[in-house]
Amino acid sequence: MAFAPTFSWLLVLRTIQGIGFSAVIPLTIVLIGDLLEGDKEIGGQGLKVFLDRIGYLIFPPLGGLLAAIAWFWPFVFYVLTIPVGIAAFIWMPETKGTNSDGTRAYLGDVLRLARHPRLMVAFSAGFLRFFLDYGFLTYFPLFLVRTSGVSTAMAGFLYVFFSIGAMITASQAGRIAAGRDKAHILFVAFIVSGAAVVLVPVVPGVWLVGCVLFFYGLANGVISPMQKSLLTQNAPAEMRGGIVSFDRLIQQISKTTSTTIVGLLLVSASLSTIFWFLGILSFISVGLMACLLPKPKPVMSSQGIS
């Protein structure tokens, strides 16, 4: 892309890059599930989220700085992925599954497995997480600029609160999950997310809004690794790739519908209504997800024999 002669060639090469990158994130999640078990696996997923958030803090400003020097410099640094790929090819242990069925049979198995209650909770959590993130974080700076009169730079700076909160909980995901049901942790985190979204148009002052964004980040740092772990730990090794890819498809649908629905809502309602809508949606979704889990069977007490 750095050597693209025209903008059209740049788009073509970017499309090819997207095809390759579409496998990177699902396989990263799958490999963590293959190589680690139990709470260590959750800690690994949390570490991935932690590093993702560091990337959000570092690479966009770095890319902007490089682009200010010359438009092609951000693309030059993609060459660093090549030695990483070679190192993974040489040194990473093989985690190939035992399934040797055809593509149609594999897809059928994925669809049947996707109806598992805990996987349905994981899919629902993934959809809701990205629906909230894209609806909330897309229109959050617009709300601050229009209602509080803050600059766009200050509105962008407040995202640091979100990243810090997410990094704190994501780095401790293994400890948070130790001895606890991950589905129940997800429910609590979504309640915190919903409360944070609802509080945005209510709290006075920009810095209090930053604190609310911090708590939204805390919940986000819990939701992401727990949701990934629900996927990997409730699917057999040979099906994890398909299940995680199916989850990515659901997330892409969520991103599209979120920005569309919230954008249409903005046409007929005030900005604050968006946050009320997203917050209430979070609370309702938690109840619906809880209904997907089978109820625990009551323990029958045996009577003593005299």
pLDDT of residue 306: 34
Mean pLDDT of the region 207-234: 90
When pLDDT is cut at 50, 70 and 90, the band that residue 303 belongs to is very low
Rg (CA), the chain: 22
pLDDT of residue 88: 87
Place of tokens 């109806």: 115
- Euclidean distance between CA atoms 1 and 73, whole angstroms: 10
The total of other beta-carbon atoms located within 10 Å of residue 4's CB is 15
* pLDDT, tens digit, 9 for 90 and up, residues 190-213: 999 999 999 988 888 888 888 999
Residue 82 has pLDDT above 70, yes or no: yes
**Which H helix or E strand runs over 50?**
helix 38-69
DSSP letter for 235, please.
S
User: At a CB cut-off of 8 Å and minimum separation 6, what does 263 contact?
Assistant: none
Q: What burial letters (b/e) apply to 41-75, b meaning 16+ CB within 10 Å?
A: bbbbbbbbbbebbeebeeeeeeeeebeeeeeeebb
* pLDDT, tens digit, 9 for 90 and up, residues 108-132: 888 888 888 888 888 999 899 999 9
When pLDDT is cut at 50, 70 and 90, the band that residue 294 belongs to is low
Q: Which of 18-27, 178-187, 214-223 has the lowest mean pLDDT?
A: 18-27
- Euclidean distance between CA atoms 152 and 162, whole angstroms: 16
Query: What are the tokens at 261?
Result: 């629905």
DSSP letter for 3, please.
T
Q: How distant, in Å, are the alpha carbons of 16, 62, 191 from that of 163? A: 30, 17, 19
DSSP letter for 77, please.
G
pLDDT of residue 189: 92
* pLDDT, tens digit, 9 for 90 and up, residues 152-170: 778 778 888 888 999 999 9
- Euclidean distance between CA atoms 45 and 228, whole angstroms: 7
Q: Are 219 and 195 in contact (CB under 8 A)?
A: no
When pLDDT is cut at 50, 70 and 90, the band that residue 96 belongs to is low
Query: What are the tokens at 104?
Result: 């149609």
When pLDDT is cut at 50, 70 and 90, the band that residue 305 belongs to is very low
- Euclidean distance between CA atoms 135 and 131, whole angstroms: 6
- Euclidean distance between CA atoms 26 and 228, whole angstroms: 10
Residue 8 has pLDDT above 90, yes or no: yes
Residue 87 has pLDDT above 60, yes or no: yes
Q: Are 30 and 241 in contact (CB under 8 A)?
A: yes
pLDDT of residue 162: 87
What proportion of the chain, given as a percentage, has pLDDT over 90?
16
Mean pLDDT of the region 241-270: 85
pTM of this structure: 0.77
pLDDT of residue 180: 83
When pLDDT is cut at 50, 70 and 90, the band that residue 6 belongs to is very high
Mean pLDDT over each residue of the chain, to the nearest integer: 84
* Residue type (1 letter), 133: D
Residue 19 has pLDDT above 80, yes or no: yes
